[in-house]
Each structure stands twice: as structure tokens, then as C-alpha cells.
Structure 1
Amino acid sequence: MSEIDRRRFGEGIAAFATLLASGSLTAAEAAAPPPSHDMSAMPAHWMGKEKIAFLIYPGFTALDMVGPQYMLASLMGAKVEIVAKTKEPVRSDTGLVFTPSARFEDATEVDILCVPGGSNGTLAAMRDEATLTYLRTASRKASHITSVCTGSLLLGSAGLLDGYRATSHWVTKPLLPIFGATPADGRVVHDRDRITAEGVTAGLDFALALVARLRDRTYAEGVQLLAQYAPEPPFSAGEPETAPRAVTTMIESMFVGLKQDMSDAGKAAFAKTRSR
């Protein structure tokens, strides 16, 4: 969200707060020109100062980051950074290119840490000690340590899910015990300061729920309406339980090798983490 978009969003929120404070509009008031925005009508807790870091790395899944980033960038007063090892452009798994706003060393003190997933890119990150060290460092003062999809395997590799309930993409969810985590049901799983989401699109639900937690339900509903987030997928194949068995088998077969590689990398990374 650009600065002008954030300002307009703030103005809209302020106008909405004025409406809430004054009660329902009459027909005459609805027809009248909108009043000037009075920020004093906005609940004080709607303005925050969170520092939010989204980790990106070569081969990450863009929607794992972009969906939540849209929701969390709507938090008035929050500062959002896109963090990578360097400020060189980072290419996602589908070829989208992102320019980081901060390097690892620039974003070590954050309130919210968000980790997207991917496939081979995530596997490489699980084997990258600099990335795992950054996650450990950034998590020390964070009030919310979060992931989307296989991003939970990165958190696990850094030792950040040991003793927590968590989830991941349905293909890789069975790997979570490698990291001392307990696989849990739910599109979004909250356990104390850890929040993990299932595959890709679950990041939208996770971030919207976090907006509600950081502000309130009304604020989050405004963000949802702004995004017109009202999914009606054309098929019921979004979960293994509802997808045709042949489709589930096809997808599972695509990731047999990667799943084994992630298991091996995860065991090695977690063992190294525990020996530190």
C-alpha cells in the first residue's frame, strides 16, 4: 500500500469511526456531502506502531507474502518491511520479482515476523544458516512469529516451533514433528505467540485474523470489505478431503522427492539448532 493509499485508508477509517460514534445516518444525512474527516473520532487503539517484517528469499511463493502484506499494510501506524539477505531483487517461484526494503541486519528488532513458504526455494532456505540465524534473531523480541504454507518448515528449522502446535501446507504438515511441533487442525493455528497458516491462500485468513487481534473486529471487517475478500471458488478441491481422490494423488506424487528432501534438511537443521 502506497503512502497516499494508506492516507486515504486512514481518512476512510476516520470517517467510519465518526459514523459509529454518531449512530446510524438518516436519509437526509446520507444525501448530504460527506463531512471533513475528524481523526479524533477514531478509537485510539486503531492507530498502532508495529514493526512488521516479511522475509523473502529466492523461490518463495509470492501469494504467501503478498496476500498477508496487503492486509497488514492496512494497519494504520504500522511499518512494513520486505526483508531479504541483500537488497538485490528476489525472484519468486513463478518469476515475479520483488525489491527488498531491508536486509537481515536492518530488521532484527520487529514486532511481527512473517515467513512465506515455497517449494525448492524453501528447501534451499532451510539449508541456509544465514536465513535461519536471521529468523532466530528477529524472533527474540517479536510478539507474533508467523508463517504461511511451508514457511512453518523454515520456522521449525530455526527451532522456533519446538513445543508448539502448528500447521503447514497439507503435503508437508506431517513433517512438523521433526521440529518438535504438534500438527494441529485448522486453516490458521494460534499457539501463544506463534501463528501458522495452511497452504498459500490461508495467508489471507491468517492476516485478517491478525488485523482483528491487533485492532478489533470492526477494523478488520473494514479491511476485508476494502479487499472485497469474499471467496467463492468454482471448485471444491481446495482441501484433500474435498478434492477428487485422483487429483489429490496427482498432487501428492509431484512432491514425493521434495518432501523427502525437506525432511532430511529439516532434521539436519533442527539437530544443529538444538546443539547450539
Structure 2
Amino acid sequence: MTQAAQIVLFDGFDPLDAIAPFEVLAAGSDEAGRTLHVEFVSAEGARRVVSGTRGMALEANGVLDPERPGYLVVPGASGPVDGDPDEEETIPVLLGRFVESAATPLIKRALANPDVTVATVCGGSLALAMAGLIGGRHAVTHPLGMEALEATGVRAVHARVVDDGDLVSAGGVTSGLDLGLYLLEREYGSHVAHAIEQLFVHERRGTPWRSPSAARTR
């Protein structure tokens, strides 16, 4: 059965947060017989979405669908960390705007869907935490955002990839590669993840942290 891997784009997203898991999951799907449909989506549907990095843009091909079985990947934002929020598009401003968008109720529905695993890269978990969607769950974000993550009631774990069952998060920007490889290993097995690791000439770092409840379900 073909599943979906929906990579969510929003105004000000970090390009590498989105592109790294997209490429890894697409390559893994090819290796495993194309059983995973990988695409960029947005809460508003098909549109050109401008990132937070020098106007770089990607095309969302469809609307975020919380009912589609598979994976929903939420990237973080790109921009200055500090600054006057009235004058600069800082990361907190961009994430706050995303939280207030139509994406939040859709992601909430995806988290409630047993057929969907929600994954985040970098500040993506912080956005979900700011929206009140993952309180009490285990997650990681960029090192600069760990205190803020904990302040929302999330159980922050200092690991490159954190598996809390239907919520899988990854730390800093380049960890999107590791997230993609970890999801491939979960979905298809280590032989597929290893093949893509070799193809991308990338070695995963650290030991993924898995909650005991997540480990028992697989």
C-alpha cells in the first residue's frame, strides 16, 4: 500500500529542514519499490512558498491532508534568532505566524490519526509546542531552543533524533538527513536506510532515543 510523506511548507520555512528529509525519503521510496509518495504541501494548498533564506522558494503541490496514512514532516523556520519583532522576521515571529495559521488544526488532526506519524526538524517541534500540541511528549529541537521547548511542557531530550511513537523529532538543521534515514529504517528496515546512507555519503550521528512505549509498539 502506498503511503504519503507530506513535507509541510510555510512562509519563512528553513529550506534544508524541508529538502533534506524530502530527498532521503524519496530515494528510500525508490529503493523500496516506490511505496511512499513524497511531496511538498501547505495548509493553503498548491502555491509558491517563500523560505526564510534569501527569498528561496519551493512549490507546494497540494494541501496538507491529516487523513492520509504515512508521515507528516514539519520543518523549522530560517532567520535571525534575536531582533526587534516589529522590524525583523525573526524565527520566533515566523514560528508564531505558522502556529496561528490554518496548519495548526490540521496538524492536530494528524496527531490524533493512528495512521499518521508526525515528524519535525529543528524548530518544527517548537512550533508544535507553541501551539500546545505536544505537551508532555518527548521531543528535541535546535540546541538554542531547548529551554523554550521545556518551558512549554515538552519533555526535552538531548539526542539527534527522538522517537516518541507517532511523534519523531530531530535537532539542528542537518539532522533532517538523520530523521529521513531513521524513518526509512522504521518503515522498511536497516537495509534500505543503509543503502541511502551510502548513496548520500552520509553517516548518521549519535544514537536515536526511543521512549519505552514507542519501543514496545514495534
Taking structure 1 as the reference length, the TM-score comes to 0.62
Segments of 5+ residues of structure 1 without an aligned counterpart are 1-47, 232-276
Distance in 2 of aligned mates of 1:123 and 1:158: 9
The aligned residue for residue 192 of structure 1 is 165
Given candidates 1, 14, 17, the residue that maps to 1:64 is 17
Structure 2 contact 47–61 (Cα < 8 Å) conserved: no
Letter in 1 for 2:109: T
Asked whether the 8 Å contact 1:57–1:121 carries over to 2, the reply is no
Separation in 2, partners of 1:134, 1:178: 24
- Residue 78 in 1 paired to residue 36 in 2? yes
- Residue identity over aligned pairs, in percent, reads 29
Higher alpha-carbon Rg? 1
- Which is richer in strand? 2
1:90 to 25, 37, 49: 49
Query: In 1, distance between residues paired with 2:146 and 2:105?
Result: 23
Is the partner of 1:65 in helix, strand or coil? Answer: helix
Partners of 2:12 and 2:52 within 8 A in 1: yes
Give the alignment partner of residue 114 of structure 1, picking from 73, 94, 98: 73
Q: Counterpart in 2 of 1:165?
A: 138
**What TM-score do the two structures reach when normalised by structure 2?**
0.77
Identify, as 1 or 2, the structure richer in helix.
1
2-side partners of 1:206 and 1:73: how far apart?
13
1:102 to 45, 58, 62: 62
SS in 2 for 1:172: helix
Name the amino acid aligned to 1:102. G
Instruction: Give the deviation of 1:230 after TM superposition.
Output: 4.4
How many aligned positions are there?
A: 182
Deviating runs (4+, > 6 A) in structure 1? none
Q: Do the aligned partners of 1:167 and 1:173 also contact (CA within 8 Å) in 2?
A: yes
Contact 2:8 2:41 in 1 (8 A): yes
Q: CA RMSD in A?
A: 1.9
Cα displacement (A) at 1:226? 1.4
